[in-house]
Amino acid sequence: MAQRWTNTLKDRDCTPESVFLNRRQWMAGAAAGVGLAGLGMPAAASETLEPNSYDDITQYNNYYEFGTGKGDPARNAHTLTTAPWSVKIDGLVDKPGDYAFEDILKAMTIEDRIYRFRCVEAWSMVIPWNGFELADLLAMAGVQSDAKYVAFETALRPDEMPGVRFPVLDWPYVEGLRLDEAMHPLTIMATGIYGKDIPNQNGAPLRLVVPWKYGFKSIKSVVRITLTDKQPATSWNKANAREYGFYSNVNPQVDHPRWSQASERPIGGGLFAKRKPTLMLNGYEEDVAALYAGMDMKKNF
């Protein structure tokens, strides 16, 4: 039986497209960190967010494969070739192989999902994604009974990604979920934002979105998905296990060594936007808390 999820967000709650695509205004004074995207806020109906300028939209983003400077991805990500594109699905599946992106789209039902998006750096927004449930893609490949985890890998193209020339991380970028997390109906593979194809600097053409986890779990430009019986390595955990655990669930009770997670600053209010309390599991506690029943979420951060 399919699991349920509760969507309490409406179109009026969405962070404006221009603000989402560029964070120069509110990140200008923030400490450098790892969040590639954040998980969002339960915005009030009366709350409005002022869009950034066009220059802000086109010149500022985070995607370390294209450079660590905030303007680097917008300048460099045009070099990423997104067509043709395929995703290798292998490991403990019945139908391993290279799945063409076009064939995946033909087989999937694309939905609109309005999700909170919360970064470990303690900023937040609300994003209207277009995409399909990861569970449907895994069903195409046929998950075998021994599978317990799902591993993901980002494209690694040194000729197209100038940032990978530097050892910021152990490239390629990799992530992972427990199988039950991956199969949850909230977990999607996003193909668009605001009804448009995802821009290169935001993870074109296909990225993971797990709304109750910190943004760096939502791996971009996915080229490989592996079903396995062992917990897979993840990039930020490999880089600093003390600061980045495997689960990376949004938890206001567990601080990052550099950022308190008790509150967050919504995008769109400028550098002095009023902070608001962070919700357990980013507001999706009712939907996903059962996944962690009996688990010490401070130890398993």
Query: Does 218 show up as a binding residue in the annotation?
Result: yes
Query: Does 220 show up as a binding residue in the annotation?
Result: yes
Query: Does 188 show up as a binding residue in the annotation?
Result: no
CA distance 301 to 283: 17
Query: Does 65 show up as a binding residue in the annotation?
Result: yes
| CA distances (Å), origin 104, targets 82, 89, 93, 107, 147 | 14, 12, 16, 5, 22
CA distance 157 to 76: 13
Query: Does 234 show up as a binding residue in the annotation?
Result: no
Query: Does 111 show up as a binding residue in the annotation?
Result: no
Using alpha carbons, select from 231, 207, 226, 211 the residue that is nearest to residue 138. 226
Give me the helices (H) in 95-152, please: 101-107, 134-141
CA distance 252 to 246: 17
Query: Does 22 show up as a binding residue in the annotation?
Result: no
Residue 193 has phi, psi (to 5 degrees) of: -140, 130
* Coil, helix or strand at residue 232: coil
Residues belonging to the chain: 301
**Structure tokens of 191?**
């193909």
Query: Does 64 show up as a binding residue in the annotation?
Result: yes
Q: Which residue spans within 245-300 are E strands per DSSP? A: 263-266, 276-277
> Annotated binding residues, as ranges?
61, 64-65, 119, 154, 202, 207, 218-220
> Annotated binding residues for Mo-molybdopterin, as ranges?
61, 64-65, 119, 154, 202, 207, 218-220
